[in-house]
Amino acid sequence: MLEKDLRSGRWQEGDRLPTERDLCTQYRVARNTVRRALEALEEGKLITRHVGRGTFKSYGSSPIRTDPFHIDSIEAFSPADVIECRLFFEPGLVPLVIARATKADLDRMTECLKQAEVSTSLQEFERWDAALHDAIAVSTHNHAAISISRSLARVRQQAQWGMLKARSMTPERKAKLQAEHVGIVAAFRNRDQPLVHRLLRNHLLHVRTYMFGDASSGLPTLV
């Protein structure tokens, strides 16, 4: 199962895997079973292990086309289309995250928050913003959901997305986005499904508004 998760894209290349103890809990197996699995995966070049640092997914370990939702031409999607889609998709992941998120999943979200807080550039903040939303999808432990989320996230690579963010971002907006992220992660930790659903959807509505204005879309704001 761990090998399947590695090959399916649950972790990106270079990501640190959970500790042996967390893997035991997640897969409900004994520690010696986890250690044997990790040894086999290291021999197969799927992971690398560093004393004192942890276990990481190896670079170059993912097949070229394992993602069934991979898009060859991301230009086919506009940033506005993607934000609109995310408004329906991401809040729908909340019940799975509430039910399945492990301590390691929640700690990964918190680490994204910490890195975003100390970021010194828009590009760095944007990277950790994307990493947080990816961590939320990963916490569903649903391979299809992770794949769809990462396909949608690829629009961030567009120059158009970067220009929209740069044009609309101010220190005040950055602080507000960060505060919204903190609230969302706190609600996940408290397993408060109605609250996190509302906070996440309102966060995406906020992003849509400051990037594209108050365009009428038939999507009501939750208050």
* Domains of the chain, earliest start first: 2-57 (1.10.10.10), 74-212 (1.20.120.530)
- Tell me, what's the pLDDT at 172? 87
Cα separation, 10 vs 6, whole angstroms = 6
Contact criterion met (CB below 8 Å) for 59 and 13: yes
DSSP element (H, E) containing 55: strand 54-57
Which residues are paired to 49 by β-bridges?
55
Which residues are paired to 16 by β-bridges?
56
pTM comes to 0.62
How do residues 160-177 score in pLDDT, each as one tens digit? 555 656 666 678 888 999
Single-letter amino acid code for the residue at 143? H
Q: Output phi, psi for 45, to 5 deg.
A: 65, 20
Q: In the numeric block, which tokens belong to residue 78?
A: 């506009």
How do residues 29-53 score in pLDDT, each as one tens digit? 888 888 888 888 888 888 888 877 8
